[in-house]
Structure 1
């Protein structure tokens, strides 16, 4: 009993493993457009820029944060002056010392900015804003990959559909050859008529060879972009036809304009902060001649500490012009945004017209294909009885093949136009 249960468990596990392996094999042989987008972005060399930008931001923030730390200065001076301060009185029996004209000073000073902390805060905001701008620029460049992937992906889909249609054409030719053999056997058709169909079959084979060679070129380029091997067994899934297309623009370029606008806001804060008075605490200690006691002509230690005020009034000279330049840059950015939206909307209008045209053409293609197929089927039946010639039959099947080729091209073009519309709008 235990053995039977054990065997059943092994059987279930074995079936589960086989099923999973089969599903994995099937999934690994198929690709869809969204996966290609993601793989292309991850494989594109520019994606490495993200890590570099993050490191740059970290270093810049670290440097900006150093503004919170006390500032340390070390200085020295040796000088000779033409005159010194003297006491203009003379007292008998009292020697009033006078300062030497050669003086020396070596000192160190520690200062802690107070109001400069606002400057540091805005500098850090600027680092974040610039990092966001550079990151969004990378996003914009990576987004452009979608259009290139669309060209390769839909190009392969079109070739696959044309190869499948070539096989249908070969099938029709072979069917005609079988029926023509019946006519030859009955003495109502010449043997040379079979050669006409055979030559046409070889011509169809040549067409398949050309299509497969072209497909390999597209596949090689797509494989390079997504860094994944694609062979003849890989199935590219046909995207769904979009029923409704959103006209609202959600492109990464718009976010780039917004992030650039934030940098202008931070620059404006920095201009205002630069014009404010700056307070700091300081402590200075040194050694020199004279020290703080001007009447002591010997080398001496000294120190001094307190609060210092500095105000660069010259910043008011350029503050207005800096604001105006910043305003001009903001206006230029707004013009770039409006130009981008105008051109994008114009492209969307053109693509929408192309989609409408292709939808009408496909509806007409279906009617043409149906009519051409009816004529072909009638000619196939007549071929066996010698009521039509092989040349006429070839005309009919080639006409049907051309009609199907047109429909295939229009269907793939419609899909590509729809996804180009989605790519252009950012949806």
Structure 2
């Protein structure tokens, strides 16, 4: 992944522009939460490896020393035969090997369940990281809007400086008042101040975006408009499905728990007495055999445990239904916003054209002393506002499209 990030950053520096999809990818790779992917995989691998060891022979060592108040005695006396009495202090040390022959499929099912839980964790993490896209969208389009506003302000400054030049010429000819030039100069200064504010906001947005993606932000590519798709493909849906599969495996594991288990064991020991209870000396011994175990008590709680799993499945189904409902509502709102800004944009060009014509006429009128500086500034500000509105509506239109596609999971 480090090689991929370095290669991507090199290509960006060569091209000079960042795109929105590249910012999404870099943000997901750079965000600290991404490190959980590796941790989830390692944790699952360790757990599965430990489960596999359940098939290996299991060794155990035991030792004990006891003192008892009475021992076994033979209540008869045989002439000529000495039957020794057991000591009341007794000792035993054993080593035992147990090997599973049949466990009803429990270990295999537990491994399957652990793999399923790993998928659940990864899907939940993917859903958490997906929320980054919305934050990147806001910062990305905020920078683009600031760039557009700076461009429009530069155009306004050019108009003001042209108006100042015309006014200065009229002033030199004695056909204008000094106050007209002062008004335009004041507006130029105010516009330059506004540029400083916009540039500061852009720098703040760029710095935040740079922290998210781990790369410097200079120039951003303006995204193209999208063909909207209302179908929902969010990673949360895959998380809900993975949780349902995990619950199904838990139900199957309950069935496995009701099956008998078979294994064999070998035990070697040393103690007093040994296996021969009539021999009161320290002896080594061994024994082995097959062990069969089955507990009907597993059925006592089986029904309630399965009922609890059904309740959990229903809970997840309700969460999924609620998520789809809320997401569909958000998609409807964002689709309505896309349509609204599209309609506003259709009239922006006409408004700009009319405002531009009025401003052009105002420049000529100012030069001839027909209108005052205030009148000229009003027309310049009106045209600038129309251009600013167009830029704002276009950015909002694009942002609404990308928000809608982010909400549906199609971005």
1:343 aligns with 2:326: yes
Report the counterpart of residue 32 of structure 1 in structure 2: 19
**The residue matched to 1:114 in structure 2 has which SS?**
strand
User: By how many angstroms is 1:366 displaced?
Assistant: 2.1
User: By how many angstroms is 1:81 displaced?
Assistant: 4.9
User: By how many angstroms is 1:28 displaced?
Assistant: 4.8
Map Cα deviations across residues 286-315 of structure 1 (whole Å, 9 max, x no partner). Answer: 123333334434332222212111123322
* CA distance in structure 1 between the aligned counterparts of 2:240 and 2:340, rounded to whole angstroms: 34
Deviates most, 406-415 or 267-276: 267-276
Question: Would you say how many aligned residue pairs link Structure 1 and Structure 2?
Answer: 401
Deviates most, 181-190 or 123-132: 181-190
Q: Check the 8 A contact 2:104/2:260 in 1, yes or no.
A: no
1:75 aligns with 2:62: yes
Q: Check the 8 A contact 1:196/1:390 in 2, yes or no.
A: yes
**The residue matched to 1:76 in structure 2 has which SS?**
strand
Q: Check the 8 A contact 1:75/1:108 in 2, yes or no.
A: yes
* CA distance in structure 2 between the aligned counterparts of 1:90 and 1:196, rounded to whole angstroms: 135
Q: Check the 8 A contact 2:104/2:259 in 1, yes or no.
A: no
* CA distance in structure 1 between the aligned counterparts of 2:92 and 2:202, rounded to whole angstroms: 83
Report the counterpart of residue 46 of structure 2 in structure 1: 59
**The residue matched to 1:56 in structure 2 has which SS?**
helix
Q: Return the TM-score normalized by structure 1.
A: 0.87
Report the counterpart of residue 288 of structure 2 in structure 1: 305
1:162 aligns with 2:146: no
Q: 1:267 to 1:326 in 2, by over 3 A?
A: same
1:239 aligns with 2:239: no
* CA distance in structure 2 between the aligned counterparts of 1:220 and 1:202, rounded to whole angstroms: 27
Q: Check the 8 A contact 1:368/1:403 in 2, yes or no.
A: yes
Report the counterpart of residue 392 of structure 2 in structure 1: 409
* CA distance in structure 2 between the aligned counterparts of 1:292 and 1:240, rounded to whole angstroms: 87
* Unpaired runs of at least 5, structure 1: 1-22
User: By how many angstroms is 1:316 displaced?
Assistant: 1.8
User: By how many angstroms is 1:93 displaced?
Assistant: 3.8
Q: 1:85 to 1:185 in 2, by over 3 A?
A: closer
Deviates most, 251-260 or 286-295: 286-295
* CA distance in structure 2 between the aligned counterparts of 1:101 and 1:309, rounded to whole angstroms: 34
* CA distance in structure 1 between the aligned counterparts of 2:376 and 2:359, rounded to whole angstroms: 7
1:152-231 to 2 correspondences below 5 Å = 152-230=139-217
Q: Check the 8 A contact 1:79/1:104 in 2, yes or no.
A: yes
> Of the candidates 93, 105, 112, which is equivalent to residue 118 of structure 1?
105
* CA distance in structure 2 between the aligned counterparts of 1:396 and 1:283, rounded to whole angstroms: 101
> What CA RMSD, in Å, does the superposition of the two structures yield over aligned residues?
2.2
User: By how many angstroms is 1:169 displaced?
Assistant: 0.6
* CA distance in structure 2 between the aligned counterparts of 1:96 and 1:196, rounded to whole angstroms: 129
Report the counterpart of residue 19 of structure 1 in structure 2: none
Q: Return the TM-score normalized by structure 2.
A: 0.91
